[in-house]
Amino acid sequence: MITVEQARRLRLLAPRWEPASGDRFVIPDTDLDEVFVIAEMTIEAHDVPGGQVIKFNGTTEWALDSIAAERVLWLPREDQLRTLLTYGFVRLEVIGDGFAVELTDGSRHVDTDAERAYARAAIAWLDRR
């Protein structure tokens, strides 16, 4: 899973997130250090006047009914990170104890986790625009 720091950087560089079933997110700058997943019936995205909210269904233990989508931080999955790379992605390699993502410009982005390597590559790719 990517880091919160990588997610913050991607928020600044990537197109606006459109929450969908299966997407992971955190609620930064709170005491909630949990990763949430949008899933039908439990956590859903809803359009409301003034924006979009993430609605928590049946989660009384968190005392949280909903939260503005802009207050949550999307943690893109590996497939979503590849999509952000578009035509810049060449390959993912296993190297030693980690992974390297190679881009069409010849750059390689290495991390111990495949998703974090993809995030490093996406940040570098999107930052060039």
The answer to whether residues 71 and 10 belong to one domain is yes
Domain range enclosing 113:
78-127
User: Does pLDDT of 60 surpass 50?
Assistant: no
Alpha-carbon gap, residue 97 to 84, rounded angstroms: 25
The answer to whether residues 82 and 71 belong to one domain is no
Segment 98-122 shows an average pLDDT of 98
Total count of domains within the chain: 2
Q: 10 Å Cβ neighbour count for 23?
A: 21
Segment 39-57 shows an average pLDDT of 82
End of a domain among 75, 90, 110?
75
Segment 100-117 shows an average pLDDT of 98
Alpha-carbon gap, residue 31 to 34, rounded angstroms: 9
- The pLDDT tens digits for 64-94 are 677 888 899 999 999 999 999 999 999 999 9
* Cβ neighbours of residue 78 closer than 8 Å, sequence gap 6 or more: 114, 115, 118
- Please give the pLDDT value at position 61: 47
The model carries a pTM of 0.84
The answer to whether residues 92 and 44 belong to one domain is no
